Amino acid sequence: MKRRSFLSTLGAVASAAMIGAPAMAEDLEKVSLRLKWLPQAQFVGFYMAKAKGYYADEGLDLTINPGGPNLLTENLVATGSDTFGLSGGTDSVFAAIEKGLPITCIGIAHQETPFVFVSKADGPVQELADFQDASITTWFTGANYVLYAMLAANGLDRSTMNIQPQQVSVTPFVDGQVDVVTATRYNEYYTLMTRVGEENLKRFVPEDFGVSFPRDTLIVGNDWAAEHPELVQGFVRASVKGWLDTFADKGAAIDLILKEAPTLDRAHQEFMLDEIEKIMMAGAAATDGLFAIDMDAVGKAHQIMVDYEVLEGPIDLGKAFDSQYVDAIPAAERLPK
Amino acid sequence: MTAVPAPAGSFPAARRFGAVLPLLRGVLALAAVLAAVELIVIALGIRPYVLPRPSAVFEAILRTPAAYRDAIIRTGLETLYGFAAGALFGIGIGIAFSRLRFLRETVFPIFIVSQTIPVIAFGALVVMWFGNTILAKSVIVFYLTFFPVTVNTLLGMRAVDQKQVQLLKSFGASEGEILRKLRFPTALPHIFVALRISSALGLAGAVVGEWFGDTTGLGVLLLQGMYAENMVAIWASVFCSALLGVALFSAIGFAERRIVFWGGSDA
Amino acid sequence: MSTDPMAPSRHALARGIFGGVALFLVWELVARGFDLPSYILPAVSEIVARIWTARAALGNAAAYTLGESVAGYLLGGAIGVGLALCVTLVPPLRKVIVPAATAVNSVPVVAFSPLILLWFGMGMTSKIVMVAVAVSFTMFVSALAGFDRVDERSVNLMRSFGASRAAILWKLRLPTALPLVLSGMRLSTVRSLIVAIVTEMLGAYGGLGWVIYQAVVVIDFVQVWAAIFIASLASLAFFGLVSWMERRLVFWR
C-alpha cells in the first residue's frame, strides 16, 4: 500500500512536470559547446547568445563547457562528448584531420594570428634581422612554426638562433634575461603592458612579415552534422548574433563574463575584448563578416605545417573546412550595423 | 591536536572552551605569521609578482567572496563524495582481501600499478566517460583515496592478536562476529591513519579534476590565476585550499577521537 | 602502511602475472572487438609496438623525469628527516614545526605548482622542488613517528650513563626509527614520479609529462599511452629498488 501510493505520487509529479514544462523545453535539442579554455572575454559572444536565448530560438538547449590544459577540443567533439567545439585553431584542425578524427571546421573566429613577438623598445632587438643574435622564447605548440616561417620568409636562418621554449611566465623577459618573448595579443601582452609599459614594448606582428595563422576554429562532429544540418546552421546563426551583440554593447558583455567568472580582472577583460574584436573582424571578416573561412589564409597556414613536417603530407582542406553554414548567412547579417 | 581531557559532562562550558582553545591558538598563530610576512614583504620591497602582501590577497578574496565561497563548497563536495566512496570501497575491499587470498594475489598487484598512473594524462578520457559532472571529479578523488585505505585496512585486519581470535573461537564466536568485534576494531586506528593521508591526496585529485573543463572550484581559480600571471589570485586560491585541507584533516581527527577511543594512532 | 601486509603464498607471483595478463587480454579484446579508435582506447599491442619504435625518445624522457624525481626525492627525504631530527633534538620546536607542517601538507601539492613554476622556471629545478615538497611531509611524519617509538626507559637509562642527546640519537633513536623511515621512503617513490610528471605537463623542456603534453597537442594518443606505460614501469622500478634496499638495510636487525 505504502509503495503504491509512493509510485502514484511519483507518477503525478512526473506528469505535472511534463504539463508544466512544455513551453520552454519543447523539442529543444540538447547540445554542448566545448571551449578551448576557461571562461573569459575571448569567448563571451557565445555566453551572450545563450543569455539572450538565441540558441533556444534555433531549437538548441546549449551547455557551454570550458576547456583546460591537456584537454583537446577536437577529441571531445570527435567522440561525441561535445557537439560543437571552439578548438585551438587551424593547426589543431589539420592535425585532427590527419589523424582521422571525424570533425569538420565550420567557421574561423580569429582571422589573423592572435599572438605577436615582443621585444623592448630600448633593447637590442629593433628589427627582425636582430633576432639573429637575440635570445628568443616561444611556445613549442604551434607558435614556433609561425616564427620559423616569419624568419624564413625574410631570409633569416633560424638554425643559428637561440630559440627556447617559453614558460608560463613573462618574468624572464621583464627581467631582461630574454630579448624576445611570445605573447597573445589579449593575454600575455596585457601582462607585459602592465609590467613594462606599452611605450617600452616593440611588437613584431606575423602578418607584417607575410605570415598568417588563423586560430580559434568552430568545429562539429561529422555524423551529427550530417543528421542535423539545420541545427548546425542554427548554432552558427545564433553564435554570430551573440558576437555582434557583444561588440555592440561591450559593457554588458563584460558584466556577463564577470558573472560567469567573478575573480577575473575587469580591466584585463575589457582590454581582451577590444583585442578579440580586432582579431575577429580582421582579414576576410572585414568584408565577409564574422566566422568567415578564408581558404587563402588557411592554405598558407597549412603550407607552413607541411613545410616544417608537422604534417606528414598535405591534407584535403576542402573536406576539413566547410563554409556552407557561414556562407548561408548573408554577409550583411554577419557584420556590425 | 591537544584534546583536553576534561571530566566528561561536568563543566560543559569549560569543555567547550577546551575545544575552542586550540582553534583560537591556531588562528592567532596564523595571524602572527601573516602579519610577519606582510612586514617582510614591505620592508624588503619584494615585488608583488614574486610574493604579494597577504593583505592584498585577503582584499582579493573579499572583493568577490561569493566566488571563493562557491569554489570551496564545490571542491569540498567533490572531495567529500569521492573520499567517502574511496573510504568505503577501500575498507570493503581490504576486508575482502584479508579473507580471500586468491582475490588479493590477483587483484592487488593491479591496484599497485594503477597508482603509478598520473590521472592528469587522462583528462579527455575522464570527460568522455563521466562527462563534465561532479561525478567525474569524485571519480578521480576516489581513484586517489581508495588505495591507502585498502592497504591499511588489510594491515589492520592482520594486526589482530591470534590468541584473542582463538579465545573468541573457543567461546563459539562465528567468523562474522570475530570480524565485527575484534578484527575491525583493531584495524580502525590503521584505517584512520590512511584516511588522514587520503584526505590531502583526495583534495589534490579534486583540484586536478577541475582542470578538465569546469566553471567553479579552487582548481579553476588556480588555473585562471596561473595563466593570467595573477599572483594575488593564485595565493587566494592556495589559501582557500589550505583552509579546506585543514578542515578535512581536523574533521577526520575529530571523528577518530570520537570513534577510536580505545587506542592511539600508532601505525 | 609499514611492512608487507603478509607473506605471499607460493602462487603469489603466478597469480599477480595472471591478473596482469587477464587485464591486458580484456583490454585488447575490447579495443579490437569494438574497433575503438585510438582517441578512445588504443589496443595494448599497438601501445607496445609504439614503445618499441619510439624507444629512444621515450627512454630519454623517462631518464629526464627519473632524474628529477630522484633528485627531488632525496632532497625531500633529507628535509623531512632533518626536520624530524630537529624536532627530536630541540623539543620546544615541536609545537611550532608540527602544526606548520600539517597546515602546509593539507594544501594539495598541485596548488603550489603555479607558484613554483613562476619562481623556479620551466627547467628541472621547478620539478625537483615540487617533488621535494611532496615527499618531505610524508618523510617528516614517518621519521617523527619512528624517533618517537623509542622506549623512554632506554633513553633514561642511556642518559643516566651520561650519554649526550646526540649519542642517544645515533645509538638508539636512529636504528629504531629506520624501518619506519624506510617504509616512508618506499611510499614516496610513486608519488615523486607522478608529481614530476604533472608538473612537466604544466611547463617543461623535457620528460615524460612533456611528451604526453606534446602528444596531446598533435593528437597522438598511442604516444600518450606509450608514455604512461613507461611512466608506470619507471615507478614500479623505483618502488622495487627502494623496497629491495629496505629489505637489505633492515635485515641485519
Q: Which residue spans of chain A are classified as CATH 3.40.190.10?
A: 26-112+213-334, 115-209
For residue C243, the distance in angstroms to the closest alpha carbon of chain A comes to 33
pLDDT at B18: 57
pLDDT over 50 at A309, yes or no: yes
pLDDT at A40: 94
Strand order from edge to edge, sheet including A215-221: A60-65, A29-34, A84-89, A215-221, A103-110
Q: pLDDT band at A17, cuts 50/70/90?
A: very low
Which residue in chain B has the smallest CA separation from A80?
B128
List CB contacts (< 8 A) between C19 and chain B. 105-107, 109-110
Q: pLDDT band at A268, cuts 50/70/90?
A: very high
Q: Considering the domain B65-259 in this protein, what is its CATH number?
A: 1.10.3720.10
- By DSSP bridging, strand A201-204 and strand A115-120 are antiparallel
pLDDT over 80 at B265, yes or no: no
Are A263 and B132 in contact (CB < 8 Å)? no
Distance CA B161, CA A305 (A): 69
For residue B65, the distance in angstroms to the closest alpha carbon of chain A comes to 9
Range(s) of the domain holding residue C60: 42-251
pLDDT at B1: 36
Which residue out of C35, C36, C39 would a mutagenesis test of the A interface target, given it has the greatest number of A Cβ atoms within 10 Å?
Answer: C39
Considering only the beta carbons, identify the residue of A69, A79, A191 that sits closest to B229: A191
Q: Which of A100, A69, A81, A68 is nearest to A33 (CA)?
A: A81
- Which letter does DSSP use for residue B217 in this model? S
Average pLDDT over residues A196-209: 94
pLDDT over 90 at B19, yes or no: no
Which residue out of C36, C122, C228 would a mutagenesis test of the A interface target, given it has the greatest number of A Cβ atoms within 10 Å?
Answer: C122
List CB contacts (< 8 A) between C221 and chain A. 75
List CB contacts (< 8 A) between A264 and chain B. 224, 228
- Are A66 and B215 in contact, with CB atoms under 8 Å apart? yes
Considering only the beta carbons, identify the residue of A39, A75, A171 that sits closest to B124: A75
pLDDT over 60 at B3, yes or no: no
What are the tens digits of pLDDT across the range A206-220? 999 989 999 999 999
Which residue in chain B has the smallest CA separation from C197?
B118
Look at residue C32 and tell me if it is in a domain.
Answer: no
Are A69 and C214 in contact (CB < 8 Å)? no
For residue B93, the distance in angstroms to the closest alpha carbon of chain A comes to 32
- Are A63 and A93 in contact, with CB atoms under 8 Å apart? no
Are A72 and C217 in contact (CB < 8 Å)? yes
Measuring CA to CA, how many Å separate B132 from each of A35, B141, C96?
A: 13, 15, 42
One DSSP character per residue, C20-60 reads HHHHHHHHHHHHHHTT--TTT---HHHHHHHHHHTHHHHHH
Distance CA B125, CA B115 (A): 17
Are A69 and C114 in contact (CB < 8 Å)? no
What are the tens digits of pLDDT across the range A22-40? 445 568 999 999 999 999 9
- Which letter does DSSP use for residue A180 in this model? B
Within 13 Å of residue B31, how many CA atoms lie on the same side as its CB? 6
Within 13 Å of residue A258, how many CA atoms lie on the same side as its CB? 17
pLDDT at A20: 41
pLDDT at A169: 78
Sequence-separated (6 or more) residues with CB below 8 Å from residue B30: none
| Average model confidence (pLDDT) across chain B | 84
- Are C8 and B105 in contact, with CB atoms under 8 Å apart? yes
For residue C165, the distance in angstroms to the closest alpha carbon of chain B comes to 24
List CB contacts (< 8 A) between A169 and chain C. 117-118
Distance CA C131, CA A324 (A): 52
pLDDT over 70 at A94, yes or no: yes
Which residue in chain A has the smallest CA separation from B215?
A66
Q: Is the CATH number 3.40.190.10 carried by domain A26-112+213-334?
A: yes
Burial of A293 (0-12, 13-18, 19+ CB in 10 A): buried
Average pLDDT over residues B183-187: 87
- Are C183 and B148 in contact, with CB atoms under 8 Å apart? no
pLDDT at B15: 52
Sequence-separated (6 or more) residues with CB below 8 Å from residue C193: B116, C65, C66, C69, C231, C234, C235, C238
Chain A contact for B214, CB < 8 A? yes
pLDDT at A147: 93
Are B207 and C108 in contact (CB < 8 Å)? yes
Are C23 and B154 in contact (CB < 8 Å)? no
Chain B contact for C93, CB < 8 A? no
How many domains does chain C contain in total? 1
Which residues in chain C land under pLDDT 70?
A: 1-10, 250-253
pLDDT at C61: 95
Q: Bridge partners of A184?
A: A115
ipTM, 2 dp: 0.79
One DSSP character per residue, C157-183 reads HHHHTT--HHHHIIIIIHHHHHHHHHH
Q: Which helix (H) or strand (E) holds A61?
A: strand A60-65
List CB contacts (< 8 A) between A71 and chain B. 123-124, 127, 211-213
Average pLDDT over residues B54-76: 94
Q: pLDDT band at B5, cuts 50/70/90?
A: very low
Q: Which amino acid appears at position C164 of this protein? A: S
Which residue out of C110, C149, C199, C201 would a mutagenesis test of the B interface target, given it has the greatest number of B Cβ atoms within 10 Å?
Answer: C110
Chain A contact for C219, CB < 8 A? yes
For residue C209, the distance in angstroms to the closest alpha carbon of chain B comes to 8
Distance CA A66, CA C226 (A): 28
- Are C249 and B138 in contact, with CB atoms under 8 Å apart? no
pLDDT at A6: 43
SS3 A109: strand
Cβ under 8 Å to B: C residues 191-210: 193-194, 197-198, 201-202, 209
Look at residue C21 and tell me if it is in a domain.
Answer: no
pLDDT over 50 at A15, yes or no: no
Q: Grid coordinates representing C98?
A: 608540527
Task: Quote the radius of gyration of chain C (alpha carbons, Å).
Answer: 22
Are C122 and A165 in contact (CB < 8 Å)? yes
The answer to whether the pTM exceeds 0.90 is no
Considering only the beta carbons, identify the residue of A78, A100, A171 that sits closest to C118: A171
Fold of A115-209: D-Maltodextrin-Binding Protein; domain 2 (3.40.190)
pLDDT at A245: 97
Chain A contact for C244, CB < 8 A? no
pLDDT over 80 at B12, yes or no: no
pLDDT at B151: 86
What are the tens digits of pLDDT across the range A110-120? 999 999 999 99
pLDDT over 60 at B120, yes or no: yes
Cβ under 8 Å to A: C residues 39-58: 39-40
SS3 C87: helix
Considering only the beta carbons, identify the residue of A68, A79, A170 that sits closest to B213: A68
What phi, psi does A160 have (nearest 5°)? -95, 0
Cβ under 8 Å to A: B residues 22-61: 49, 60
Cell 584495524, residue? B187
Distance CA C221, CA A268 (A): 36
pLDDT at A184: 94
Sequence-separated (6 or more) residues with CB below 8 Å from residue B193: B152, B265, B267, C1
More confident residue, A241 or C189: A241
What are the domain boundaries of chain B? 1-46, 65-259
